[in-house]
Amino acid sequence: TSLGVQVHGGMGFIEETGAAQYYRDAKILTIYEGTTAIQANDLVGRKTARDGGQTAKAIAAQIEKTEAELARSSSPAAAAVLKRLKPAREAFIEVVDFVAGQTKASPNAVFAGSVPYLMLAGNLVAGWQLARSLIIAEDLASRSVDVDFMQAKTATARFYAEHILNKVPGLRDSIVDGAESVTALPIDMY
């Protein structure tokens, strides 16, 4: 939604576009659902560490199947999405291994990266779903079904891969290597 407001520039906050309402609606979700950190800590503790990352790795295996489908396509859009989806999935697995392996031994190190982990997982899953939509859209467009709409779906998936999904490996670095900078200052220095 933030990107949508940026597309409209100053007009993004003028009510005629509707962009501002989407932005407000998205922002309020973090208030209704609790803080982002609470959700992130739940992802670390109950959704990843509890089962040693097995559920997360099962999702990664499904994403890998989508990668194989993308690889069978000869389209530039599918290649562009695959180029970003695979490293994002691999980064996710590295983070899952870190979280599952370090939660008991170094909980502060793991929880210091909980919010970036939530963002990484969300960006990966969104990229995966867009990749799936791209595969279907290309198939339907090849059969002349609502071609303009299908091309828009393909373009959206590619945009997401090249502008959002490509940031996932950097999030991995923050999570796996960034705890010391988060915990470096004593609490009384804040």
16 is catalytic: no
Number of helices (H), then strands (E), belonging to the chain: the values are: 10, 0
Residue with tokens 């960006």: 123
Among 83, 65, 58, CA closest to 132: 65
Q: What count of other Cβ atoms lies within 10 Å of the Cβ of residue 189?
A: 6
Catalytic residue among 33, 67, 69, 162: 33
Cβ atoms of residues 133 and 153 within 8 Å: yes
How far is residue 55's CA from residue 49's CA, in Å, rounded to a whole number?
Answer: 10
Q: Where in the sequence numbering do the catalytic residues fall? A: 33
